[in-house]
Structure 1
Amino acid sequence: MRNLGNPITHFWLVQDMARAAGVDLPDARRQGRLTAGEWTAMITRCRGCAWAEKCQSWLAAQDMGEPAQVPPACATRAVFDSLCQGD
């Protein structure tokens, strides 16, 4: 079993990935499109993701002006994809 990463680090990785994808997680939460449990599960999945180490490099290379496609290796991609479709 893979060790889980630091929850604070992965909270921010999820936030940054959301921003790169053009997803406003707090707004999705307020609109009822994302539950607190789903948000927590995203962070937990990120904490156990084997790709998380490469995530910061990928995020640093993004132009935050245009929404990016979340990489297939991202453990939370399906949630971001569903939230993007709901916009």
Structure 2
Amino acid sequence: MIGYPEAPKAWWLTRGMARISGVNLPRAVVEGWLQRAELEDLITRCAMCRAGQDCEAWLMRSGAERAMPEFCPNKSGIEALIA
């Protein structure tokens, strides 16, 4: 199981944003198209972001959204993983 007990909220938010784009981060690591270090970079970038509350609120009301919000610092990195 891939997870980040040292940064659970950042992991949850990053994984949620990836899901919006149709990206399954744990599967990406297991299948080898995302390195564990790259995933750690995404989590760290999220943990350092000051928009955590905005992100959480956006995810809770995202509904059928299929595009990440512009304010997400991981937008380009996650969208690069879209098959």
TM (norm. structure 2) is 0.83
Match of 1:78 among 57, 76, 79: 76
Residue 31 of structure 1: CA displacement? 2.3
Q: CA RMSD in A?
A: 1.5
In 1, the alpha carbon distance for the partners of 2:65 and 2:30 equals: 21
TM, length-normalised to structure 1: 0.79
The aligned length equals: 78
List gaps (5 residues or longer) in structure 2: 1-5
Q: Cα distance 1:67–1:28, how it changes in 2: closer, same or farther (>3 A)? A: farther
**1:26 Cα offset (Å):** 1.4
Counterpart mapping for 1:17-56 below 5 A: 17-56=17-56
TM superposition shift of 1:12 = 0.8
**Given residue 30 of structure 1, which amino acid in structure 2 is its aligned partner?**
V
